[in-house]
Structures are given as structure tokens and as C-alpha cells.
Amino acid sequence: MSDRTIRGAGAAGIVFVILVVITIAISGSPPMADDAVNKIRDYYVDHRSKLLWANLIGLVAIPFVLWFAVVLREMFRGDRLANALGTLSLAGLLVTAPMAMIGGALQVSVIYVDGAAQAYRPDTLRLLWDAQSLAFAATSAGIVAFTLGAALAIRRTGALPSFTMWLALLAVVGNIVAMFTVLDAGAATIGLAGVTTFALFILVTGTTMAAGKTNAPVGP
């Protein structure tokens, strides 16, 4: 794999993180899952255009992180165990991406038609809000596989500096914690541990790759 390809994939990872931060920033402060339905409805109505844009930006971000993960998997090629760990990492992200897209679709389905949010029955609005919350929480399972596979592959192959392995393990812990958000509607805020550590791993690893500071074999 060429040095240019590795650097490009690292840049793709950085772009992904920037786009994710933008989606979070423009979406405002969302209500908790156990807040009153009227608060959820007001959030949808007041943030309609921002949420639609956030969903679009999130979709644009997906190809960048997929390319990052594909090249990362190629960097981990070695013996059979290294290959298996690299495949586990890629498979984890291939599970994560669809769940994130489903969560985004569920979120904006309420406001896709202008004025629809005001017409939804309270129980329907609550159901859709809970469904999108649970879909986003479910991404933590795939992220655990992605970062655990990456951490062990980095350890076995030495393709990246050891500090990236520790960041990957931090993301494993953060997303195991995030899984517990599915147990109670009031626990949604702990999900931030998952997305924050996941983004940090990709940002630092992407920067390392973009700077050419890897130990992966370079070829055509």
C-alpha cells in the first residue's frame, strides 16, 4: 500500500471527526428520553432545519470513515491472527455505520414533512424519539468490535505507535459504558463517553497516518 494512500485515509478519518462534531454542534441540546413529550415536540419544531442538515452531514461523513477503516485493515495485514483482528475491526465499523444511519433516519422522520411534528400523537412521538435513541446507543456494540480489533492488531503488528493502541482500548471502555444507556431512559448522557472516545481514537490515529508516522509496509 502506498504512503499516499495511507496519508489520504488518515485525512479521511480527520474529516469524519470534523463532520461529526459539526452535526453535534448544530443539533443543539436534545431533550432526554424521559422528558415531557411537549419538550421533545418543541425541540423538533425549533430545530427542524438544523436536524435535517445534521442528518445530511452525517451521511456525507460515512464514506470517509469507511475508507479510513478499510485502509486501517490493510495496514494490519500480517499473520493469520493479525488478519483476523483487522477483519474484526472493519466488521465492527460496518455494523456501526448502518445503525448510525438508521438512528439519523428515525430522528428526522418526524420532521421530514414540514409541520408533521405538530400533528403526531404524543405516544407516537415518544416511540420515535426512543427508537432513535436506542439505535444510536446500539452503535456502541460495533464500535467496541472496531476499536478492540484495532487495539489488538496494533499490538500484534506494530503498524501504528503504541499510544494509538491505548486510545483504542479507551474507546472500548467508553463504549462498553455507553451500552448501559439502553437500561434506562435517563442514562442517555453516559453515551457521550462512547462517541467521545471513538472520535478521539479516529482523530489521533488519522492524524498519525496523515503525518506518515506509521510502521506499516509501504508498497504500490
Confidence of residue 56 (pLDDT cuts 50, 70, 90): very high
Lookup: cell for 145? 468490535
From CA 201, how far away is CA 163, in angstroms rounded? 10
* Number of residues written out for the chain: 220
Cβ atoms 189, 29 nearer than 8 A: no
At residue 220, does pLDDT exceed 70?
A: no
Q: Which of 207, 136, 197 is nearest to 168 (CA)?
A: 197
Higher pLDDT, 113 or 35: 113
Whether the pTM exceeds 0.95: the reply is no
Average pLDDT score over the chain: 93
Choice among 82-96, 117-131, 184-198 with the minimum mean pLDDT = 184-198
pLDDT at 169 over 60: yes
Residue 117's Cα: distance from chain center in Å?
Answer: 27
Report domain extents, the chain: 3-210
| Cα dihedral sign, 188-194-196-199 | negative
CA distance linking residue 71 with residue 116, whole number of Å = 42
pLDDT tens readout for residues 110-134: 999 998 889 999 999 999 999 999 9
If you search the block for the grid coordinates 400523537, which residue do you land on? 121
